[in-house]
Chain A
Amino acid sequence: MPTFYGTEINNPLLLGTAQYPSPSVLAESIKLSKVDVVTVSLRRESGGSNAGQDFWNLIKELGVRVLPNTASCYSVKEAVTTAQMAREVFATNWIKLEVIGNADTLQPDVYGLVEAARELTQDGFQVFPYTTEDLVVADKLLQVGCEVLMPWGAPIGSARGLNNEYGLRSLRAHFNEVPIVVDAGIGLPSHAAHAMELGCDAVLLNTAVAKAGDPAAMAKAFSDAVSAGRQAFLSDPIEMSDMACPSTPVIGKAFLS
């Protein structure tokens, strides 16, 4: 099972908590998939409201580890301040660091990401950087203290799967000791299994489960898929070839023509 900053988790599927039809469906999805880590966030709250506390109580009752995010932050300052607030509220040094660079694709601003990661690691955070599959950026993130890489599969919520399989393979090969979590863009359990078959250590997704017709059943399907993909990777898959290769022995075939 993947280990992040010295903590081994029990399920390579990490699940987002947003967009579910109801809190009870969210809870059922977490329970059925047996995920160990869920992502959470922070937003403005009105005076007198207990919405935030109620949500936080629900998550605590489920006994899962939280990975707070800095979603929707477009600058280093916003992301760092959000991380600091998240650490206080959620009592964890883990932070899923998002510094967004484009509103249409929600792709990371990798320059800001590296800068924010440097600041946060120096301040004791354990950063999970939402990045691209770019090797040089990944190397910079590791240099500033990140011990996990979180490349996107595809734009957030797009359900496109793995847009750049080569890039993920390359990342895996170059940083074979660093936990890699494919985050974002996953639409189907087969996408998640594919990421795991490539040797990635975990998959983080939200929309594909939350917006499914039956979120809890889909969460279970994703959990099964990452498990199957991991097992396949560890079982040393065969190489792809351009030509057919008969599996049934040719020798001894009867001459019947």
Chain B
Amino acid sequence: MRIIVNGEEREVTSDLLDQVLVECGYENPSIATALNGTFVHRELRTETKLTEGDRIEVVAPIEGG
């Protein structure tokens, strides 16, 4: 299945958000996610199903003003 992660197309085998994150190398606990522009709480990642073309945003802490 092809999805878009942080603006880049990715081919993934899983259709669950938590597994896709592992597949894409996200093992850092300090991340937050959004699916198609809507926040997905950490606890809901295991039950969040993805479909072809979904847009995932994965963000982490950074310096800010």
* A-B complex is real: yes
Contact B61 A52 (CB under 8 A): yes
Query: Of all chain A residues, which has the CB nearest B27?
Result: A48
Tell me if A47 is interfacial: C-beta within 8 Å of chain B.
Answer: yes
Please report the C-alpha to C-alpha distance between residue A253 and residue B7 in the assembled complex, in whole angstroms. 80
Knowing A43-B59, A44-B58, A44-B59 are in contact, say whether A69-B30 is a contact too (CB < 8 A). Answer: no
Contact B30 A85 (CB under 8 A): no
Contact B63 A41 (CB under 8 A): yes
Q: A interface, how many residues as a size bin?
A: 35 or more
Query: Of all chain A residues, which has the CB nearest B58?
Result: A45
Tell me if A18 is interfacial: C-beta within 8 Å of chain B.
Answer: yes
Tell me if A128 is interfacial: C-beta within 8 Å of chain B.
Answer: no
Identify B31's interface contact among A52, A55, A77, A82, CB under 8 A. Answer: A52
Q: Name B1-49 residues within 8 Å CB distance of A.
A: 5-7, 24-26, 28-34, 37-39, 41-42
Query: Of all chain B residues, which has the CB nearest A67?
Result: B64
Select the stretch in A1-9, A86-94, A228-236, A237-245 that faces chain B. Answer: A86-94
SS class, residues of chain A in contact with chain B: mixed
Please report the C-alpha to C-alpha distance between residue A59 and residue B62 in the assembled complex, in whole angstroms. 10
CB within 8 Å: A-B pair count: 114
Residue numbers in A under 8 Å from B54 (CB-CB): none
Knowing A48-B25, A52-B28, A56-B30 are in contact, say whether A81-B62 is a contact too (CB < 8 A). Answer: no
Knowing A45-B31, A81-B39, A85-B39 are in contact, say whether A55-B63 is a contact too (CB < 8 A). Answer: yes
Identify B32's interface contact among A85, A156, A206, CB under 8 A. Answer: A85
Residue numbers in B under 8 Å from A50 (CB-CB): 28
Residue numbers in A under 8 Å from B63 (CB-CB): 16-20, 26, 40-41, 55
Contact B65 A206 (CB under 8 A): yes
> Which residues of chain B have a CB within 8 Å of any CB of chain A?
5-7, 24-26, 28-34, 37-39, 41-42, 57-65
6 A–B pairs (Cβ distance < 8 Å), ordered by A: A17-B65, A41-B62, A45-B59, A47-B24, A53-B28, A78-B37
- Which 3 A-B pairs rank lowest in CB-CB distance, beginning with the nearest? A52-B60, A41-B64, A47-B25
